């Protein structure tokens, strides 16, 4: 029986309740995405698994009530076997949220790597367990295929030491308590994209706005400071996370409402943010359509926090020349972009409303020619970055 000639890389990008995946075909050392998909509502009664063949543009959906990660990977693999000619997975790349200071670059998975990842679960209790579980599932299903972990924290290793510093006693800082920053794979993709666009600006702010949201200050392609810190809770208001919050509030909730650590964790990760303000949804599209007072308040609070953090990061960099919008909200919501740009007019940003309204999933400049700060929408692609790292690291095993 002939060995398959095609070579594929599987990328798994897991969130706390969702999973995105891509299959890339390797042709003459270049990566071509041939299959993408997502599973939303993991473990819920309405888990929706969507598969899209990027060549034929045919999409299929599978409803799987209370689907677990193992079932999704099994379903994905069976469908891929039917849909992808000569499926031959040579490497699997994983997005892992937290690498702390234990992992400073993409890393091949060996048994000791899993142990180290497990030690970081307290750093990212919602995301890290799912990341680890997927690695273990793939190890069982594809025992001879190299797996590569790509960390959201790596990109921010270059940030100013003062930005990373947390003002608590040294013994806790020595135990790893510091500001790390996240969404690094997204920022890495945008930083490379800026070079291809010929944007030479040295002072760039990238606003990754989605259900998880952050802003990053970048100089010469490197992270200087970012809004997220030790965990994914800090910074901007997000779908269900509050962003910046006075630590005294946590103490008050525990002392006066008797909340346990688990209850506080559930409150901060799952009940706050846009959902907490609106009491309706953490989805910006739902709030925009609903258009009641609480929904509008949630939207305005989101915009206020983004624009305020943009000002803070501009100060950290000593100015700003370019602002990039990316992520689900940043790429697709013209109204939110317009509201943020309006609040950044003091920085010299002037939005071209017509260009802003015409953005359609493409890289677009949306500022006026007279604007002293250029405004762009650039779709991000974390999975492509992961595939590149997985290919490079996987070769180390096969060489």
Residues tagged active-site: 152
Beta strands in 125-236 (DSSP E): 147-151, 203-209, 213-219, 222-226
- CB-based contacts of 377: which residues, under 8 Å, 6+ apart? 324, 325, 326, 330, 331, 337, 359, 362, 363, 364, 366
Q: Return the closest-CA partner of residue 148 out of 88, 103, 90, 92.
A: 92
Spatial CB neighbours of 84, under 8 Å, sequence gap ≥ 6: 6, 8, 23, 34, 35
Tokens standing for residue 375:
């405004």
- What is the number of helices (H) and of strands (E) in the chain? 15, 14
Q: Please, which residues bridge with residue 31 across strands?
A: 26
For the chain, the 3-state helix, strand and coil shares in percent, each to the nearest 5, are 40, 20, 35
Contact 373, 347 (CB under 8 A): yes
Task: Kindly report the backbone phi and psi dihedral angles of residue 154, in degrees, each rounded to the nearest multiple of 5, phi listed first.
Answer: -60, -40
Which residue(s) pair with 50 in the sheet?
A: 38, 61
């Amino acid at each position: 029986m002939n060995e398959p000639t095609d070579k594929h890389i599987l990328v798994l990008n897991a969130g706390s309740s969702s999973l995105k995946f891509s299959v890339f075909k390797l042709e003459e050392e270049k990566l071509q995405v041939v299959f993408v998909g997502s599973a939303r509502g993991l473990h819920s009664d309405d888990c929706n698994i969507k598969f899209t063949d990027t060549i034929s543009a045919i999409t299929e959906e599978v409803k799987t009530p209370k689907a677990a990660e193992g079932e999704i990977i099994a379903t994905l693999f069976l469908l891929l076997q039917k849909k992808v000619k000569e499926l031959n997975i040579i490497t699997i790349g994983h997005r892992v949220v937290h690498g702390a200071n234990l992992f400073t670059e993409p890393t091949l998975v060996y048994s000791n790597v899993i142990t180290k990842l497990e030690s970081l679960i307290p750093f990212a209790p919602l995301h890290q367990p799912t990341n680890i579980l997927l690695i273990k599932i793939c190890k069982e299903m594809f025992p001879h295929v190299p797996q590569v972990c790509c960390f959201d924290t790596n990109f921010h290793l270059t940030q100013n030491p003062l930005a990373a510093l947390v003002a608590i006693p040294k013994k806790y800082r020595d135990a790893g308590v510091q500001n790390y920053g996240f969404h690094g794979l997204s920022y890495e993709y945008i930083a490379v994209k800026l070079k291809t666009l010929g944007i030479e600006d040295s002072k760039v702010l990238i606003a990754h706005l989605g259900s998880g949201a952050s802003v990053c200050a970048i100089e010469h392609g490197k992270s200087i400071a970012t809004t997220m810190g030790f965990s994914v809770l800090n910074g901007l208001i997000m779908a269900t996370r509050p962003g910046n919050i006075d630590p005294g509030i946590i103490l008050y909730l525990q002392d006066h409402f008797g909340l346990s650590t688990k209850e506080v964790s559930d409150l901060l990760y799952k009940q706050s943010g846009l959902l907490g303000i609106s009491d309706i949804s953490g989805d910006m599209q739902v709030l925009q359509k609903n258009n009641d007072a609480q929904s509008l308040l949630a939207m305005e609070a989101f915009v206020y926090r983004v624009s305020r953090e943009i000002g803070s990061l501009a100060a950290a960099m000593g100015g700003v020349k370019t602002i990039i919008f990316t992520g689900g909200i940043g790429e697709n919501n013209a109204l939110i972009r317009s509201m943020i740009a309006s609040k950044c007019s003091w920085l010299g940003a002037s939005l071209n409303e017509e260009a802003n309204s015409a953005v359609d999933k493409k890289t677009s400049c949306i500022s006026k020619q007279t604007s002293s700060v250029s405004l762009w929408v650039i779709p991000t692609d974390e999975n492509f970055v992961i595939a590149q790292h997985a290919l490079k690291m996987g070769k180390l095993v096969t060489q």
